[in-house]
Amino acid sequence: MDKRVGKNNQSVLNLRDLLRDITTSPDKYLEQTLVIQALNSQGTLAKICDESKGIFPSSINTQKRIAENIIEGGYQALDQLRINALLAVEKKKYANKQPDKETKAGLLLTLKQLESEKQSLRNDLLLLTLAFEKSLRQGARYAYHADTSIQALCKKEQRELLDILSLRKHTLNTNVVKLRED
């Protein structure tokens, strides 16, 4: 293997480890403004340099190509680690600050916290809904290979579950095809 390629591969792995460490121990990085600024965008993260940790700057395309080859989940996993690290640092930074609801800044901080929590809950709901719909598709696929009474029972029970799910007040915007044939 080319020495440069090996160095770049190791750099991306070290960057992944750094992002994991930031996510689990954000308090260690609160004072490292360069690292925190690098978490704000993919391009800035690619340019980060910390020779003591074996992390060297590269182009974002190089980082994406390497991540696709050596990290499980590819670049998307690395980018999710970046986002998680940024959220962990921000949460730690604002954890000790109680917003003053009498000032505009305090209200904005409260609003930002509530919006962040709302988005997190929506993401969780989306993942649960997708998992639920996938399990329904798998159940229908398994029932397809069974006798007709099992197929009828599966269809009836899945319709009941879908009826319960249809009681949601807000629809989730996804590109997932609906199971129900109305």
> How much is the pLDDT for 181?
47
Q: What is the SS3 assignment for 58?
A: coil
CA dist 153 → 142, 143, 144, 160 (Å): 12, 9, 11, 11
- Give me the domain span that covers residue 90: 3-96
Q: What is the pLDDT of residue 179?
A: 52
As a whole number of Å, the end-to-end CA separation of the chain is 57
Per residue in 32-43, pLDDT (tens digit) is 888 889 998 889
Which residue in the block uniquely carries the two structure tokens 């480890």? 17
Residues 86 and 106 both lie in one domain: no
Predicted pLDDT of residue 64: 92
- Report the candidate in 73, 76, 172 with the shortest Cα–Cα distance to residue 131: 172
State whether 33 and 76 are in the same domain: yes
| Furthest CA-CA distance within the chain | 66
How confident is the model over 107-126, as pLDDT tens digits?
887 888 899 899 989 888 88
What pTM did the predictor assign?
A: 0.54
Residues 6+ apart with CB under 8 A from 173: none
pLDDT recorded at residue 98: 65
Closest CA to 179 of 169, 170, 161: 161
Same domain membership, residue 154 and residue 112: yes
> pLDDT value at position 61?
93
Pair (8, 65) in one structural domain: yes
Query: Where would I find the H helices in 1-103?
Result: 3-24, 33-38, 42-46, 60-70, 74-95
CA 13 to chain centre: 19
Alpha-carbon span 68 to 12, nearest angstrom: 11
pLDDT in tens, 72-85: 888 999 999 998 89
pLDDT in the model for residue 11: 92
CA separation for the pair 138, 122 (Å, rounded): 24
- What is the per-residue pLDDT for 182? 39
Low-confidence ranges of the chain (pLDDT < 50): 181-182
User: Does one domain contain both 117 and 87?
Assistant: no
User: What is the rounded distance in angstroms from the CA atom of residue 96 to the CA atom of residue 117?
Assistant: 17
Question: Do residues 106 and 99 touch, judged by C-beta distance below 8 A?
Answer: yes
Structure tokens that stand for 176 in this block: 């997932």
Q: How many domains does the chain have?
A: 2
Residue where a domain stops, chosen among 45, 64, 96: 96
Q: Give the end of a domain, one of 63, 80, 96.
A: 96
